[in-house]
Amino acid sequence: MTSYEKAIALWQSKRITTAAELAEALNGHSIAFAYHSGKIENEQITYNDTREIFEHDGVTSYTGDLRTLFEIRNAKDANELFLDAFGERRPLTVELLKEFQKRLTQNTYDTRRWQLGERPGEWKRHDYVTGRNEIGAAPEDVEEEIVELMAELREVAAEEVLTAAAYFHAKLENIHPFADGNGRVGRLAMNYFLVLRGHPPIIIHEEDRKAYYTALEVWDTDQRLDPLIDFLKAQTAKTWAKQIERAGEG
């Protein structure tokens, strides 16, 4: 059995059905996820600040900028939405995707974006491109493309869950539907899609961002998912390695 398969087996053995059970299973994981996902795009985010905000709703001896604090606090709010939505068994819909983005970006839009009419929880109103290939759907096409993407996710066989998650994440980043926060939204929404289907959530580690971006670029240029699927399998194994080791010792 591979490390990835061991992570799947470990997660499914927990038989999680409620928000409380999910919160217990993710004890510590949610902090690590928020830290890594945030730091991929903001070098000022630290694990210590993230832990303090998640555990105590505040930080001590902080000397960074306020936007970084808002981003970490927003990650905590988004995690609470994640748990509540799971408890209600809400499917991953257009509306929930917008809610995730709003939670993650409240009070962090810069002056320029705000003056351009951009708002958290709404599709972008202007062109924003990303990556080496400058991808991104035109603002007028975002709604249609996202609705189509969500429709493609409705009927996914159990053995295709990770492939579907990789496709969702790659396609969402390619569409780039929001004025800000697309990466953080994509990583959180992908994990929500996974846990609804009995797959462990994945931390994409900030130290592996180069391989992560490369895998996304392969999709952008060649529409090949294999590199991203392989990357996500490796990150799944890395995410749950310590728990797998402890389970083996038991």
Reported as a single tens digit per residue, the pLDDT across 182-239 is: 999 999 999 999 999 999 999 999 999 999 999 999 999 999 999 999 999 999 999 9
**How far, in Å, CA of 201 to CA of 225, rounded?**
19
Q: Which pLDDT does position 135 carry in this prediction? A: 65
> Cα separation of 204 and 59, whole Å?
25
Per-residue pLDDT, 249 = 60
Residues with Cβ within 8 Å of residue 138, at least 6 apart in sequence: 127
pLDDT tens, position by position, 92-136: 999 999 999 999 999 999 999 999 999 999 999 988 665 555 568
Domain boundaries, the chain: 3-249
**Which tokens belong to 210?**
């180069």
What the block records as the tokens of 147 is 């609705």
The model's pTM:
0.94
Q: What does the angle CA 192 – CA 108 – CA 27 come to, to the nearest 5 degrees?
A: 35
Alpha-carbon span 37 to 39, nearest angstrom: 6
What does the pLDDT read at residue 158? 80
Residue 79 CA to residue 89 CA, distance in Å, equals: 15
What pLDDT sits at residue 250?
55
User: Tell me, which fold does domain 3-249 have in CATH?
Assistant: Fic-like fold (1.10.3290)
- What percentage of the chain reaches a pLDDT higher than 90? 85
CB 195 within 8 A of CB 18: no
